[in-house]
Structure 1
Amino acid sequence: MSTSIIFVAILVFGFLVARGIGRIAPGRAGVSGLGFLLLGVVLGPVTPPRVLTVEVLDALDLFVSILLGFTGFLAGLRLRSALREFEHTMAGALSALLVILAVACGCAAAVQASHPEFFRTTEPVFAMPIASDGHWLLSLWLAPEALWVTLGIAAAAGVSATSVITRVANAHGVHGPRVGLLHAMATVGTAFSVVVLGVAMAGSRASAAGAEFGLTLTEWGIIVVGFGAVAGVLFTVYLGRERDAMRLTVASVGAVTFAAGAGVALRVSPLFVSLAAGAMVASTSTHSDRLQVALQPLEHPASVLILLFAGAHWRPVSGWLWLLPVAYAVTRWFAVRVATRLAVATFLDDRALVRGLGRGLVGQGALAAAIGLGFAQRFGEYAGVVLTTVLGGMLLTDVLAARSVRRLFADAGDIHVREAS
């Protein structure tokens, strides 16, 4: 089948299904999203009928990058509203940091052991001897490649979906400071997670191209952020004080395309570059709120397509590596509960808000899949481990995410207990 026909069919499918779910069963969007993930696996090269073969996926790689760029751009735009409360911002960043550290520490050894070639590196990130009996040496050892893979998985763990919070809150008429705090923490934590992914990508690029360009991790990071900032500035300059809707759409498409293209050219994540572009637009343009409204109808179709392509890029693993999704989901579940409590207690004095707040942040959604997909694009040889861990963890947690948020609101007295059950 022609790649062009497949591309058009997938595009139409994403828009039609997203619109249908939005009208018929808006409360089931989270569960149906996992269905798109599984559909991507069925359509991918792993199982018959293999509609999305490796060749087709390679041909659609640029389109996938633009999808990732659009997702990152929206995440950057939303930072403007999330950053209005300093305490909420700091709580969200600290919570995401603690979750990322917990998952990174929990999966580093497994990632290191998943690829024997990691042990053959001559320049590990660190090698700390612990004990020796004269014949065997026990040491903490981490190869650079294992570090980047670990950070990619951990970055996905820091993502919390605002869509689950919004759906449950709207369904039960819940408003107030608890919903606002959850939204702010999820938005800031997601942006922080994309930054961690960008650091991992930039670190890998600096290691691989160090001899050629002589640039450090910091210098690569500045270059990447600089391209995103340029895209945001170009958007602001092009639009000026115009209020025309068509001009607004054209400017946003141009900014996303430029940022995503820069991410591909630099061999780092389009998500990260586009996040910087969106944050720049949010801070410099008076049209950022209108832009969010204009782009909102495209978010769900883009999420459907990201989940579909993430499933198609998945590659099966073998042996004990199938335990990684379970370890990821369990570690993240407890880390989110503990980290959220610590972060909110550190920056806010309201004890009523602290109690059980982490239950509202367990859902992940399409952006976690986008991080895994972006990593698989850059590190195809590690796609199996990363996507199995991240997507498998999503399957285990997102089916319970809406119920977890409802129980949080019910226990807090925001909705009736019988209604939440």
Structure 2
Amino acid sequence: MSAPLLLILIAALAFLATHVLYEWLAKRLLIVSGAEYLVLGVLLGPQVTGLFPPSAVAAFEPILVLGIGWMGISAGTSLRLPRLVRIPSVTYRLSLVESLTTFALVAAGATSALAYGFQASYAAVMLPALTLGAIAVASTPAGLDVAFGLSARAGARRAAPVLRQIEVAHGMDAFVSIFAFGILIAAAHTQVPLMMRALTTTEWVVVTLGIGVVGGALFHLFLGSERSPDRLFISLGGAVILTSGAASYLQLSPTLAAFVMGIVLANSLRQPAPVDDVLRSGERPLYYVLLMLAGAAWAPGSNVVWWLVIMHYVVLRTIAKLWGTGIVTWINRAQAEVGLDWGRALMGQGRLTFALALDYSRRGLPYGDLIFTCAAVSVLFTEFFAARFVRSAVDPLLVPLEQLSMTLSATTEAVMESVTETMAQRFPALRKVDPDAKEHEHKGKR
């Protein structure tokens, strides 16, 4: 099958999944769909049917870079300073400790598992182990969106402390995960032949941040006041390709560069809502394309050591997200507001996790296939139930509050009616007169 025909097939499947299947599953079954397209990619790839050869995956490398960068800019646009400064500091403290705990615990476990399983030194497995820790931090906000929606009415419910904590935790997870991954890629950077000397890790990180700042400034300068969705989509796609492509060409992290670009846009545009709508409409189709392309190129191993590392990754991440959040919440005495189980809502992994793992595996770095397999297994087993994880963590706190609110509202109405009736009996002049009854009485007198 030719590459253009494959591209048309992938685009059609992504469009159909986005506008039909996703909305139906989300509304009726509280299911976050998407991971199944990784399985579809495996079926189309050389491992099963062979309809999607490895050469076709290499031909779609620009689309992979665009999709990876799109996940980064989507995460960055949620960090708006005017909204962030209104959130209590304890919310950030709980989120930051949860992110760092997950990173440290998974990285330490992965270091031990890789060194023991492959009989390698700790120095040799440090980069992939830290990368697994950074990928484990990421959590998907899709479960929160499916469970509580994005409408104005849903926004009022999401103002509850526990939902605000989960939303901030998603943003903190993305921040820590993307920055840690970007620093690791900069540390693993090889010397560029055109330069006079090899730059240090700090200098490469500064270059990555500079690419994102320049990309955000150029987009704001040329199309900051544009409102047409079509023009915004084309221009924003070009800006993401320029930013993530420049970072990828320099062997840096396109996710970090696009993430910084998203932060710049979110805090410089006067009306960022049209950009958010464009990003949200393009994020899901690109994610499905990434899943199918990566599934076609995925060749998981059957070595026992691989399963050892995967088990370390899944188990340690689960412990950090569940018990780590509960412990830090109890230490900060915030269980009355957010409960001890809000970390359950962070169990789901999705778009950002997949983008980071795919970015690492395509570079030919050590244990790239194993790291991608860990992320793929986690996405397959957690994203599907992400919305249900959110519901199970939030309902024990949110449902009693809603019932109390309804009870207070009914009690207030009853009290007001009683007061009104008492005042009307004491002061007859205050009694409301029905205009129709008054007219009927007037006609009777005549």
Q: TM-score range by the shorter chain?
A: 0.7 to 0.9
Q: Report what 2:145 is aligned to.
A: 166
Q: Report what 1:42 is aligned to.
A: 43
Range with bigger deviation, 276-285 or 299-308? 299-308
What is the alpha-carbon distance in structure 2 between the residues aligned to residue 345 and residue 310 of structure 1?
41
Q: Of 84, 95, 98, which residue of structure 2 is paired with 1:92?
A: 95
Please tell me the residue identity of whatever aligns with 2:376. L
Residue 379 of structure 1, CA deviation: 2.6
Determine if contact 2:186/2:252 at 8 Å carries over to the other structure.
yes
Q: Mark the CA change 1:286 to 1:342 in structure 2 (over 3 Å): closer, same or farther.
A: farther
Q: Mark the CA change 1:415 to 1:406 in structure 2 (over 3 Å): closer, same or farther.
A: farther
Q: Report what 2:62 is aligned to.
A: 62
Note the aligned Cα RMSD (angstroms).
2.9
What is the alpha-carbon distance in structure 1 between the residues aligned to residue 352 and residue 63 of structure 2?
16
Q: Report what 2:377 is aligned to.
A: 392
Determine if contact 2:357/2:372 at 8 Å carries over to the other structure.
yes
Q: Mark the CA change 1:23 to 1:393 in structure 2 (over 3 Å): closer, same or farther.
A: closer
Determine if contact 2:71/2:283 at 8 Å carries over to the other structure.
yes
Range with bigger deviation, 383-392 or 312-321? 312-321
- 1:266 and 2:247 aligned: no
What is the alpha-carbon distance in structure 2 between the residues aligned to residue 17 and residue 265 of structure 1?
32
Q: Mark the CA change 1:210 to 1:395 in structure 2 (over 3 Å): closer, same or farther.
A: farther
Determine helix, strand or coil for the equivalent of 1:358. Answer: helix
- 1:104 and 2:107 aligned: yes
Question: For 1:328-357, what per-residue CA distance to the aligned partner results, in whole angstroms no more than 9, with x for missing partners?
Answer: 111111101233235555677463314211
Q: Mark the CA change 1:30 to 1:105 in structure 2 (over 3 Å): closer, same or farther.
A: farther
Query: When the two structures are aligned, how many residues end up with a matched partner?
Result: 392
Please tell me the residue identity of whatever aligns with 1:93. L
Determine helix, strand or coil for the equivalent of 1:406. Answer: helix
Q: Report what 2:209 is aligned to.
A: 225
Residue 216 of structure 1, CA deviation: 0.8
Please tell me the residue identity of whatever aligns with 2:5. I
Q: Report what 1:156 is aligned to.
A: 135
Q: Report what 1:330 is aligned to.
A: 315
Gaps of 5+ in 1: 120-140, 417-421
What is the alpha-carbon distance in structure 1 between the residues aligned to residue 33 and residue 338 of structure 2?
30
Determine if contact 1:107/1:328 at 8 Å carries over to the other structure.
yes
Determine if contact 2:144/2:390 at 8 Å carries over to the other structure.
yes
Q: Mark the CA change 1:29 to 1:311 in structure 2 (over 3 Å): closer, same or farther.
A: farther
Q: Report what 1:14 is aligned to.
A: 14
Please tell me the residue identity of whatever aligns with 2:58. D
Please tell me the residue identity of whatever aligns with 1:159. A
Q: Mark the CA change 1:249 to 1:36 in structure 2 (over 3 Å): closer, same or farther.
A: closer
Gaps of 5+ in 2: 402-446
Determine helix, strand or coil for the equivalent of 2:277. Answer: helix
Q: Write out aligned runs for 1:104-143 (5 A).
A: 104-113=107-116, 115=118, 119=121, 141-143=122-124
What is the alpha-carbon distance in structure 1 between the residues aligned to residue 84 and residue 316 of structure 2?
28
Determine if contact 1:341/1:356 at 8 Å carries over to the other structure.
yes
Q: Of 159, 165, 171, which residue of structure 2 is paired with 1:187?
A: 171
Determine helix, strand or coil for the equivalent of 2:49. Answer: coil
Range with bigger deviation, 8-17 or 200-209? 200-209
Determine if contact 1:231/1:259 at 8 Å carries over to the other structure.
yes
Range with bigger deviation, 66-75 or 314-323? 314-323
Q: Mark the CA change 1:235 to 1:265 in structure 2 (over 3 Å): closer, same or farther.
A: same
Determine helix, strand or coil for the equivalent of 1:95. Answer: helix
What is the alpha-carbon distance in structure 2 between the residues aligned to residue 331 and residue 112 of structure 1?
17
Determine helix, strand or coil for the equivalent of 1:274. Answer: helix
Q: Write out aligned runs for 1:27-38 (5 A).
A: 27=27, 28=29, 30=31, 32-38=33-39
What is the alpha-carbon distance in structure 1 between the residues aligned to residue 250 and residue 145 of structure 2?
35
Residue 197 of structure 1, CA deviation: 1.0
Q: Mark the CA change 1:393 to 1:29 in structure 2 (over 3 Å): closer, same or farther.
A: same
Determine helix, strand or coil for the equivalent of 2:34. Answer: helix
Residue 295 of structure 1, CA deviation: 2.3
Determine helix, strand or coil for the equivalent of 2:35. Answer: helix
Determine if contact 2:349/2:378 at 8 Å carries over to the other structure.
no
The higher radius of gyration belongs to 2
Range with bigger deviation, 350-359 or 224-233? 350-359
Determine if contact 1:310/1:372 at 8 Å carries over to the other structure.
no
Q: Report what 1:137 is aligned to.
A: none
Determine if contact 2:54/2:296 at 8 Å carries over to the other structure.
no
Please tell me the residue identity of whatever aligns with 2:70. F
Q: Mark the CA change 1:352 to 1:244 in structure 2 (over 3 Å): closer, same or farther.
A: closer
Q: Mark the CA change 1:211 to 1:151 in structure 2 (over 3 Å): closer, same or farther.
A: farther
Determine if contact 1:206/1:215 at 8 Å carries over to the other structure.
no
Determine if contact 2:38/2:294 at 8 Å carries over to the other structure.
yes
